[in-house]
Amino acid sequence: MRIDIVTIFPEYFGALDVSLLGRAREDGILDVNVHDLRAFTHDRHRTVDDKPYGGGAGMVMKPEPWGEALDAVLEVDAPVVDVLTVDAPPAEPVEGGPIVIFPSPAGEVFTQAMARELSGAEHLVFGCGRYEGIDQRVFEYAGSRASVRLVSLGDYVLNGGEVAVMAMIEAIGRLIPGVIGNPESLVEESHEDGLLEYPSYTKPAEWRGLAVPPVLMGGNHGAIAAWRHAAQLERTRRVRPDLLPPA
């Protein structure tokens, strides 16, 4: 999978060099490219923001650097300025083509199901917004060149998309075949079956007066599976009843 990230803070993505995803990059499974949005500006101050039309607080990200950055990562030739000809209408995004993702509190909520779907893509592009957001026309333009999704990590506001993109790349990357050593560890975990994970224990059997549930040490695999399933249901009902079918 190829991943392009467009950001005004490329340093945020240094962590992609380490751990599981760092190994996947060394192994050639993941090709991650981080692009500085300011490299697509042309003024002395490398300006990426301006005041909002219509007034209001804060600043809005200007469309021009975003257009050039998207053209570069989507390998679209820079638009030809030609007043004598009418541009061809924008092509519909190709199925199986690149997917451009903008983290946004106004987006659809990111889920394990979305991570699994996106883990099958050949090419993902992440655009990191800052300030009060990106000029709306950038999303329209991107949508004429690729499939575009505004995606939210949850109902809270971040200062920019960078941390959200790190979270999404970690969730997506570990689902790519070959990235995780033991694919079985993916099957049993939280959310893949719609329930929260059961509690885990390791040695010692007693620690600071706290015991491991005896059933886990008894070797009865049917009883262990039943205990774990009950623990999943109990935990999900207590913490995340919204994940359970209506009673």
Positions touching ligand JET (CB under 6 A) are: 102-106, 129-130, 133-134, 150, 152-154, 156-158, 160-161, 164
Least distance to ligand JET, CB of residue 177, Å? 27
Least distance to ligand JET, CB of residue 51, Å? 15
Place of tokens 């885990």: 200
| Strand pairing class (206-207; 49-50) | unpaired
Least distance to ligand JET, CB of residue 168, Å? 9
Q: Which residue is at the shortest CB distance from ligand JET?
A: 129
Least distance to ligand JET, CB of residue 102, Å? 5
- Rank residues 120 and 154 by Cβ distance to ligand JET and give the closer one: 154
- Rank residues 88 and 157 by Cβ distance to ligand JET and give the closer one: 157
Least distance to ligand JET, CB of residue 155, Å? 7
C-alpha distances in Å from residue 58, one per residue of 8, 49, 55, 163? 17, 10, 9, 20
- Rank residues 22 and 160 by Cβ distance to ligand JET and give the closer one: 160
- Rank residues 158 and 216 by Cβ distance to ligand JET and give the closer one: 158
- Rank residues 30 and 142 by Cβ distance to ligand JET and give the closer one: 142
Least distance to ligand JET, CB of residue 152, Å? 4
Nearest to 60 by CA among 126, 138, 6, 4: 138
- Rank residues 119 and 152 by Cβ distance to ligand JET and give the closer one: 152
- Rank residues 97 and 105 by Cβ distance to ligand JET and give the closer one: 105
List the structure tokens of 232.
């999943």
| Strand pairing class (2-7; 31-36) | parallel
Least distance to ligand JET, CB of residue 99, Å? 16
